[in-house]
Amino acid sequence: MQALRLCLSDRNSGVCRMKEFYDVVVVGGGPAGSVAAWFAAQGGASVLLLEKNRDIGPPVRCAEGVGHDGLKLIVEPQPFFIQNRITGVNLIAPHGKKIHIENHDFGYVLNRNVFDHYLAELAAKSGAEIRTKSYASSLIFENDNVSGVNYSCLGKEFSVKCSIVIGADGVESRVGRWAGIHTQLKMKDIDTCVQYTLANIDVDPKNCDFYFSSKIAPGGYLWVFPKGEGKANVGLGIGGEYGQNESPKNYLDRFIADRFPEASFLTTTVGGVPTAKTLKEIVKPGFMLVGDAARQANPISGGGIVSGMIAGKLAGQVAADAVQKGDFSKKFLKEYEKQWNKAEGNNHKMFYRLKEAVYKLTDEDLNKAANAILKMPPEKRTIVNIFKTVLVNKPQLFVVILHVFKDHVKEVFDPLVN
Amino acid sequence: MILIKDNLCDFCGTCVSVCPPDAIELKESEIKIDDTCTECKLCVYVCPIETLEFVE
């Protein structure tokens, strides 16, 4: 059994009653980290969660949109963390024509500050200990096994030993590198983004807008996510490879000057969104990687909240299981990797190919595709029919689509030929 | 070398995610580039608000 020594440090540091050993240490208190801590603790592990910022929640670097179905996999949607309910989506082609998709249960625009706190509270109620202003600086190793974390809190250095470290440090993903995983992103696999929360604007509060156009957002898209009447998160991401020419801020400012000239700016947020497929390796002996840190955001939408939480839940459960069995080997922890691939990872491989294909299309190609889709009655706008229509109009895309869906050929093409 | 215009940095970490030698350290409101920097300039290109600048 591990030695347990309660360490009462002086009151000035604000840190007291720290253990020197935990079964699991989670680095990063975003949705992925908090959910990992929650499920590890629920499974009986002792858990410490370290967050470098002074708060769980802010700063919000996020468009705050989630799908209803995805959110429900982890928590029940509740009004106190939801700012707005979305029942439709507009995909806007370069020439400005909109493709509207209606769905009563599309999703929500969250209040991420409240939501993140809620997830952390669920972790805390399950027994996880959470420390903020706690900056992890390196990992501790015992032979090849990750066995702890060195961190600083309010000017003091600490070492904490553990059986498993879960890296949930977001897009930076440094903890994974320290564990020997190549987490660094290629320029084509990151979207560099800027977002404002705008007030005094004219928006349809029920629909989210997605603008695709090389002039508005090359290699990415611009979003308008309404938070209610007259207020919305308006932002865009451009492909990293376009950042050298012009910053995303310039693109966004131009759009807003044109479309929302009367806007007031309530927040300014910048950040990077990983649009890679999941890293080939997300476990090491005594170590697991979750969320944006593992590059588990959806490659085509950039959405990372739900995928981060799903990964957190799977990792937390496998971690608790590992603690019970006393097996922290890479082989045992790979069960998490397997479950992730089954749940989302394999789909992301396909979405990644789709992303690459879509962003090879010119604005003219997108316009033609949009025109073709708009000729279809709304109820017939299923994925299969959309592709059929696009193929009729641009047969060259057939090869692209075959490549994108190569692992799912049967499901996609059966309905096409029958 | 890579210059950081401190009053502009929002500490978002986008630069960190693309840095090949892991030369950038980011705390809540501090950014440092250490001497493992190879001046590849990927950080300069990817920064959302042009906080980083390459100077000879």
Reported confidence tier of residue A398, pLDDT bands at 50, 70, 90: low
Tell me what pLDDT residue A378 has: 79
Say which DSSP state A132 is in.
S
Q: Note the pLDDT of residue A11.
A: 42
DSSP A256-316: HHHH-TT-EEEEEEEEEEE-SPPPS--EETTEEE-GGGGT-S-TTT---HHHHHHHHHHHH
Over residues A320-332, the pLDDT tens digits come to 999 999 999 999 9
Nearest-neighbour CA in chain A from B46: distance (Å): 5
How confident is the model at residue A368, as a pLDDT?
86
Q: Specify the 3-state DSSP secondary structure of B24.
A: strand
The whole-angstrom separation of Cα A118 and Cα A106 is 22
> How does pLDDT run across A323-367, given as a tens digit for each residue?
999 999 999 999 999 999 999 999 999 889 888 888 888 999 889
Strand partners, A283: A288
Cβ-Cβ contacts under 8 Å, A272 against chain B: 12-14, 17-18, 46, 48
Instruction: Answer whether residue A268 shows pLDDT above 60.
Output: yes
**pLDDT tens per residue, range A153-166:** 999 999 999 999 99
Q: What is the nearest CA distance from A150 to chain B, expressed in angstroms?
A: 15
Cα distances (Å, whole numbers) of residue A348 to A50, A277, A284, A407, B9: 29, 6, 22, 12, 32
- The per-residue pLDDT for A410 is 57
CB-CB: which of B17, B27, B28 is closest to A190? B17
Omega into A94 within 30° of 0, i.e. cis? Answer: no
CB pairs under 8 A between A and B: 82
pLDDT at res. A10: 43
Residue range A7-28, pLDDT digits in tens:
444 444 445 567 889 999 999 9
Is A270 in CB contact (< 8 Å) with chain B? yes
pTM of this prediction? 0.92
3-state secondary structure A1-39: CCCCCCECCCHHHCCCCECCEEEEEEECCCHHHHHHHHH
Considering only CB atoms, A270 lies closest to which of B22, B27, B48, namely B48
